[in-house]
Structure 1
Amino acid sequence: MAATINYIEVKGVKIPLIFEEENRLPIVSMQLVFKDAGSVSDKEGLAKLSSKMMNEGTLSLGSNGFATALDEKAIQIGSSIGTETFVIEYSSLKEQFKEGMNLFSSLLKEPNITQKSLEKVKADMVGLLSAKENDYDYVASNALKKVLFEGTPLANPASGTIQSVKDTNLEEVENFLDKHIVLSNLIIVVGGDLTLEEAKQKAIELASNLQVGEAGEVKHYNVSSQEKDVVLKRETKQAYLYFGSPYDMKVGDNEYYKAHVATYILGTGGFGSRLMEEIRVKKGLAYSAYARVHVGKSGSYLTGYLQTKLESLDDAKATVKSVFENFVNGGVTEEELEQTKKFLLGSEPLRVETLSQRLSRTFMEFYKGQELGYSAKELELIKNLKLQDLNDFIKKHKEILSLSYAVVTK
C-alpha cells in the first residue's frame, strides 16, 4: 500500500503520522522528526552536540548498558540532525518491536544528559573537528556557506567549531532539548510489518513521554547577492574550488520542476552535464564537476564544486563562469531536454523501490506543504515540459550569475 498521512492526538496536540504498511520483511521502522530543531535553529554546533547526547543511552542503563540492550535484540535507535530538523530513528525486527518501544520510551523519558556524558561527547566532537581541519572539501564547503550566508545561522558549520563545542555547557543542551524536542514540533514517520492501528497505538505511547512545548517556525535567510572570493592557504597538492549563488525560489514554488530539469543539465547529471562536458571532457581540468540547487525553508541557493591542479585553478574558475553565462544567456538544446526527460522519467522506479525511499518522499511532500502524490504530478510536468518554457525559466534566473567562490589552495 502507498504511504498515507494520518493524525494522532497526544496531550491536546494533533500530530501528523506518515504510515506505510510493508510486510514483505518482518521489519518495523519509526522516525520522530522535530521541525525547527536542526543546525539553523540555535547556537552553532548545539543541535549536533544535543543529538549526540541523545545517543548516550538512559540514566538507568548508561551509555554502555543501553547499547548492550539494543545489540542483544538487534534494535537500532539513533539521533541525527539536518539543517532544519532533528530526527530520532528506530528500527528492529517485528518480534522485538514491543521491547524496542520500551527502550525508546525510556530514552525519551530519561535521556543520559549528564556532565559525564557531555564531556565524552565534547571530546569525541573535538577530535572529529580536529581531523576535519585537513579535510579540504569540508573546509572549502564551510567557507562557501560563510560567504553566501554571512551574518546568519546558515553561515555556521553544522558541527560547530572546536571552540564552540568546548564552550557548550550542560544547561544549554538541556534547554535546547526542552525547547525543540516537543510534541508541537513533531512529525512521526512509521513503516513496516504492522497495521495502521498498531502504528498509532505505539506512536501515542511513545509521544506521551514528551512535553507539549511551543511550535517553532523555520526562518528563511537570503543569500548575499554580492560576489565574493575567499582563498584559504593550506599545504595541499590540489586546489578545491567551491562556488555558489542565490537562487530565487521558495519551498512550494510551482516551477520547481523546471529548476530540477535545468540544474540536471547544468551540473547534476554527471557525464553529459554542461559543467562536466566543459571542465572534464573538453579541458581535462578536473575528474568531476558538480552543481545543484538547494530549495529549503531556511534558504535557497545553488552550489557546486570541483577539484583541480594548482596551476589550473584560474582556468577552472573562468570556465565555471563561462559555463554559467552561456547556460543562462543561451539556454539548453532540445537534445539536452529530451535526454534529461528520459533519465528522470526512466529512473523513477529506482527512487521508490524501498520502503525508506517512499516514506521519505511522502514526508518531504508533507513537510513542503505539497499534496500527497505531488512527485508523480511533477514527473508528468517534466514529461510535458517544452523547450521554450524551460529556456524562458533559465533566462529569468540570472541571479545564479552572481557567483561567489571559496578556494583552498597552496
Structure 2
Amino acid sequence: MRNRTIIIALMGLLLLSGLCIGDLHAMPPAQKITTPNGAALILSEEHSLPFVTLKLLVEAGSSKDPPGEGGLSCLTARALLLGTQKMTATQIDEEVDSLGIVLDASPGRDFIVLNLRVLKKDLDKGIRLLFEVLLEPTFPEDEIRREIAKTMAEIQAEEDDPGSVGEKAFRKALFNDSPYGHPVEGTRESLTGITRDSVQRFYSTHYFPGNAIIAVTGDIGIDEVRTKLLPYIDTWQARSAQQVPYKASYEKGPKTITVDRQITQANIIMGHEGISRDNPDYYALSVMNYILGSGMFSSRLMKEIRDKRGLAYSVGSLFEAGKHPGSFQVILQTKNTSAREAISLAVKEIERIRSEPVSGKELDEAKKYLIGSFPLKLDDQAKLAGFLMQVEYYGLGLDYPKKYPVLIGSVTAEDVLRVAKKYLHPENIITVIVGNIKAVDKGSR
C-alpha cells in the first residue's frame, strides 16, 4: 500500500503538470488532420525505432454512464475486444499474440482509449485489427456475461485493498450521485442490471467519429497516414452527439467517514471539490500544489508530517483536473494511533499555505521542476501519443509546448497565495479513514 500511495501522489503531480513541456525541442513536430466525418487526427513522426503507436480516444467515459448503470462505459470498452463480425474473442487474442502487438482498451472517467503498438512491418495488420474491433463489434452475450463476472471478482478483490476502499468511499461522499461519483468499473449492484442491450445502446450513442481523437506517433509519415489510416476512419459513420448537460453536486464537510479494517496502519484520504482542466488558474495551482504536497520529498506535507514528526509512511496531495471539476485530495498513511494527529497537521499545512506567501526558494524550485521535468514524461511513443491526445481533447493547441513554460514561469508568490485562498477550503474537508478505528480513536485521546 505504501507504493500505491506514492504512485497516487506522483499521479497528482502528473494530473496537474503532466501536460507540460519545458522545451519546444523536447517534442517532435506535430500536425493535425480533421477528417470529413469529424474525427481529429494528430501525427508526430519519429523514425528512430521501427514501431508505431496509436491511441484512439472516444469521449465515452464513466461520466457518461446512465443512472443505475455504473460500469457500462468500462464494460463497453472492454467488450470491443470480445468479438467482431469476423473474429471471436479467442481469435482476436491469437492474432494479437501472433503479431506481437499491443491492443487493449483503457477505460476512464471522461473518455476511453484504444491502444495499439505495432512493428512497422505489421502496421497494415495492426490498423486493420484495431478498426475491426472498433467498427464491427458484436458484443456476444456469453462473453459479456463472462466479462461482468470477471469485473465483479476484481471489485470483490479490491475490498482487501484499504487504499481502494478509501478512494471509493471518498469519491462517493464528495460527488454523491454526480457522474464522477461511482467507480469507473461500476459496483456489483450496478453491474447486475447491465445487459448486452445496454452495451449495444451505449456503443451506438457514444462511439462515432465526431467524438474521437486519434494520436499517432513513431515510424510513420503523413503520406502513410493518408493511405493506410484515413480510409478506415472514413468508413466510420458520422452522427450528431446527444447533448446531455453535466449535472454535478458536491458535498461539503467537515465530515469524517471511518471504515473499520483490522490492519496495522490507517489509510487516509481527505479533501473537497477541485477544478476542471480549463480553469485559468490551473498553472498557479500546479505550482501551489507542488509546494504543498505533490513535490514529494520537497513538499511541505512531507517535510512536516514525515520528516519532522515521523508520523507518515507517505503523504502527498493532488488535484484531479478533468473535463469537469474533480477533487482536491491529501493522501497519507500512518499508524492507527497517529491518524488524528497526522490529519490535524495536514489541515494546518493547508491553512498555512492559504495564509502566508511561499518563500522565493520554494517558488523557484517548484517552477524549475515543473518546467524542467517534461522530457521524462515524453520519453517514449506511448507517452507522446497520450500527450498529443490530451492536448487536443482539452483544446490546448499544438503550440502548447511554447506556452507552458511561459505560463508556469510567470506564476508569482502572490498568485500562489491567491489560488490557495480561492481553491483550498479546510472548513469543507471530507476525511475518510480506513483502519483499525478502535486504535485510531485510542490515539486521539
What is the TM-score with the length of structure 2 in the denominator? 0.86
* Partner of residue 128, structure 1: 154
| Secondary structure of the corresponding residue to residue 186 of structure 2 | coil
* Partner of residue 210, structure 1: 236
> RMSD over aligned Cα, in angstroms?
1.9
Residue correspondence of structure 1 range 49-64 to structure 2 within 5 A = 49-64=75-90
* Partner of residue 242, structure 1: 269
Question: Aligned-pair distance for 1:209?
Answer: 4.6
| Secondary structure of the corresponding residue to residue 112 of structure 2 | strand
| Secondary structure of the corresponding residue to residue 60 of structure 1 | coil
Among all aligned residue pairs of Structure 1 and Structure 2, give the percentage whose two residues are the same amino acid.
28
Equivalents in 2 of 1:109, 1:381: separation in Å?
40
Match of 1:323 among 329, 344, 349: 349
Relative contact order, CA 8 A, sep 6+: which one is greater?
A: 2
Quick one: which amino acid aligns to residue 146 of structure 1? K
| Secondary structure of the corresponding residue to residue 236 of structure 1 | coil
Quick one: which amino acid aligns to residue 166 of structure 1? T
Equivalents in 2 of 1:311, 1:124: separation in Å?
37
**Structure 1 residues without counterparts, runs of 5 or longer:** none
- 1:282-337 Cα offsets, whole Å, 9 max, x none, are 11111110101112212232112111111111111111111111111123111111
Quick one: which amino acid aligns to residue 236 of structure 1? I
* Partner of residue 303, structure 1: 329
Contact 1:29 1:191 in 2 (8 A): yes
Equivalents in 2 of 1:368, 1:293: separation in Å?
16
What is the TM-score with the length of structure 1 in the denominator? 0.93
Q: 1:174 to 1:66 in 2, by over 3 A?
A: same
* Partner of residue 227, structure 1: 254
Q: Which runs of 4+ in 1 moved over 6 A?
A: none
Q: Is structure 2 residue 61 aligned with structure 1 residue 38?
A: yes
* Partner of residue 108, structure 2: 82
Match of 1:385 among 408, 411, 414: 411
Quick one: which amino acid aligns to residue 7 of structure 1? T
Contact 2:306 2:315 in 1 (8 A): yes
Quick one: which amino acid aligns to residue 41 of structure 1? K
* Partner of residue 152, structure 1: 178
* Partner of residue 280, structure 1: 306
Structure 1 residues 362-371 or 75-84, which shifts more?
362-371
Quick one: which amino acid aligns to residue 397 of structure 1? Y
Question: Aligned-pair distance for 1:128?
Answer: 0.8
Question: Aligned-pair distance for 1:154?
Answer: 1.3
| Secondary structure of the corresponding residue to residue 55 of structure 1 | helix
Contact 1:63 1:112 in 2 (8 A): no
* Partner of residue 389, structure 2: 363
Q: Is structure 2 residue 43 aligned with structure 1 residue 16?
A: no
* Partner of residue 28, structure 1: 52
- 1:158-207 Cα offsets, whole Å, 9 max, x none, are 11112222321111011111111112211111122111122133333322
Q: 1:197 to 1:255 in 2, by over 3 A?
A: same
**Structure 2 residues without counterparts, runs of 5 or longer:** 1-27, 437-445
Equivalents in 2 of 1:199, 1:295: separation in Å?
32
Equivalents in 1 of 2:297, 2:132: separation in Å?
49
Contact 1:21 1:193 in 2 (8 A): yes
Contact 1:147 1:228 in 2 (8 A): no
